[in-house]
């Protein structure tokens, strides 16, 4: 059983252009690839911020405690419990993915593809009183209410040691080392949003899992408090942040923000090892960056996709996350230019991320997609000059794919070449492409 969970908030690349392409997604690198991971949907509109949090907490729900520093007192109407499927949809929509193509018969005439032509594929825009003893500890209970299966308290405190003592006395088990982090927030006059599972209410609702919880507030600061999430962590943690706004790509101002490698051609065997491939590539980038960077994996206009790797995210789900400016039918997608999503991936610990992550909206309109490409070679037996020239060029192409894979992952070239040599083609080209 894990201890009580104190949640967070607690290289050159080629950018993807907006032209359409024909191809088929065969795998995704989603949040399930990582242990000790959490997902956060962060909505920003002016000074309005809405944060929806989900974690991979496993253990007895009665041991779960969520403590979030917030800039102001949170009211009941500012808190909402959200279904996990909403964050899973964002994950599927933005995850790095593998796409495959099939080489044509070299004797066939080449037909130029106009991505902007009508009909072109690609999805173009088309009952307890907690106040007892609180004052003696310098703690004030500003608000107390329920949200779904959670009992909520909003606290303010004068001293961190009194806050930690009061929380522990009231069965909110704070891990060792929390006090100095809490003290830094107290000195900023921040409040503390505290959530705990009401076991009786959860049983009545028939739930055996913890749903994400959304907190909304106004603040001039556009930031994500992550330091509390490092206090009881057993090593580095992964966090995937989906930032939704209407002003373009989002990046960190106090940590280096980089783009993940993308648009890379990889060998055919990666189709069955894509999860291992992406995880190794991400691990290598984190090592090269000394685990001190925020990594951009995706940025796009929510009004269209090219192509869509999952069903478009409807207005209903986006509004549940806090995109209140979006109007229209629940099942419709946003109008183009009305909402953007930036997927950021962070591996962090207290040593390498000593400060909360501060963000800014860049206004950048260059779209980014984590995309890795398999080109299946043509395996016919033509003897024409065109076919001979085609086959003559394949060894260099295969070697380039192997070199790229080894450099991206750190895998030994011998291993990559051996995998290439032992690969048996079982792929079937779709009838329509």
Tens digits of residue pLDDT in 205-254: 877 678 899 999 999 999 999 888 777 677 899 999 999 999 999 999 99
CB atoms within 10 A of CB 336: 12
CA pair distance 260, 107, nearest whole angstrom: 37
pLDDT of residue 109: 66
pLDDT of residue 171: 78
CA pair distance 116, 47, nearest whole angstrom: 38
Domain spans in the chain, listed from the N-terminal domain onward: 24-63+72-126+218-422
pLDDT of residue 4: 36
Cβ density class 351-382: b for 16+ within 10 Å, e for less: ebbeebbebebeebeebbbbbbbbbeebeeee
CA pair distance 273, 418, nearest whole angstrom: 14
Give SS3 for 317.
helix
pLDDT of residue 28: 66
Cβ density class 228-238: b for 16+ within 10 Å, e for less: bbbbbbeebbb
Which parts of the chain have pLDDT scores under 50?
A: 1-25, 112-128, 432-433
pLDDT tens sequence across 321-380: 999 999 999 999 999 999 999 999 999 998 999 999 999 999 888 999 999 999 999 988
pLDDT of residue 205: 80
Measured over the CA atoms of residue 316, residue 369, residue 57 and residue 154, the dihedral's sign is: negative
pLDDT of residue 410: 98
pLDDT of residue 428: 66
- Residue that has been written with the tokens 């909206």 in this structure: 361
Task: Tell me how many degrees the CA angle 240-292-86 measures, rounded to the nearest 5.
Answer: 5
pLDDT of residue 285: 98
Q: Model pTM?
A: 0.84
């Amino acid at each position: 059983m894990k201890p009580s969970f104190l949640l967070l908030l607690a290289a050159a690349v080629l950018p993807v252009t907006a032209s359409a392409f024909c191809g088929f997604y065969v795998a995704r690198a989603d949040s399930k690839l990582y242990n000790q991971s959490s997902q956060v949907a962060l909505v920003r509109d002016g000074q309005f911020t809405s944060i929806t949090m989900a974690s991979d907490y496993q253990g007895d729900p009665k041991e779960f405690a969520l403590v979030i520093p917030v800039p102001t007192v949170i009211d009941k109407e500012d808190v909402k419990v959200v279904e996990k499927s909403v964050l899973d949809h964002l994950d599927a929509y933005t995850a790095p993915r593998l796409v495959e193509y099939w080489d044509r018969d070299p004797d066939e005439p080449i037909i130029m593809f106009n991505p902007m032509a009508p009909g072109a594929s690609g999805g173009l825009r088309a009952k307890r009183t907690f106040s007892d003893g609180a004052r003696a500890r310098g703690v004030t209970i500003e608000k107390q209410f329920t949200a779904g299966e959670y009992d909520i308290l909003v606290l303010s405190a004068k001293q961190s040691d009194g806050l930690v003592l009061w929380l522990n006395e009231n069965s909110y088990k704070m891990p060792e080392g929390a006090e100095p982090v809490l003290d830094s927030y107290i000195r900023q006059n921040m409040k503390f949003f505290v959530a705990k599972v009401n076991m009786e209410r959860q049983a009545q609702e028939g739930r055996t899992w913890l749903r994400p919880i959304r907190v909304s507030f106004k603040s001039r600061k556009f930031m994500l408090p992550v330091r509390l999430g490092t206090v009881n962590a057993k090593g580095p943690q992964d966090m995937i942040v989906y930032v939704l706004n209407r002003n373009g790509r989002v990046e960190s101002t106090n940590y280096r923000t980089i783009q993940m490698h993308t648009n890379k051609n990889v060998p055919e065997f990666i189709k069955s090892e894509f999860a291992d491939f992406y995880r190794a590539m991400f691990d290598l980038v984190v090592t090269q960056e000394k685990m001190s960077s925020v990594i951009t994996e995706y940025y796009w206009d929510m009004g269209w996709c090219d192509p869509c790797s999952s069903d478009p995210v409807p207005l209903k789900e986006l509004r549940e996350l806090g995109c209140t400016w979006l109007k229209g039918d629940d099942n419709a997608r946003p109008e183009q230019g009305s909402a953007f999503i930036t997927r950021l991936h962070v591996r962090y610990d207290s040593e390498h991320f000593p400060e909360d992550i501060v963000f800014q909206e860049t206004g950048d309109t260059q779209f980014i997609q984590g995309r890795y490409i398999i080109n299946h070679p043509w395996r016919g037996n033509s003897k024409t000059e065109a076919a001979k020239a085609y086959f003559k060029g394949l060894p260099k192409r295969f070697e380039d794919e192997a070199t790229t894979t080894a450099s991206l992952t750190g895998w030994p070239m011998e291993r990559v070449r051996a995998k290439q040599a032992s690969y048996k083609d079982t792929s079937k080209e779709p009838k329509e492409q």
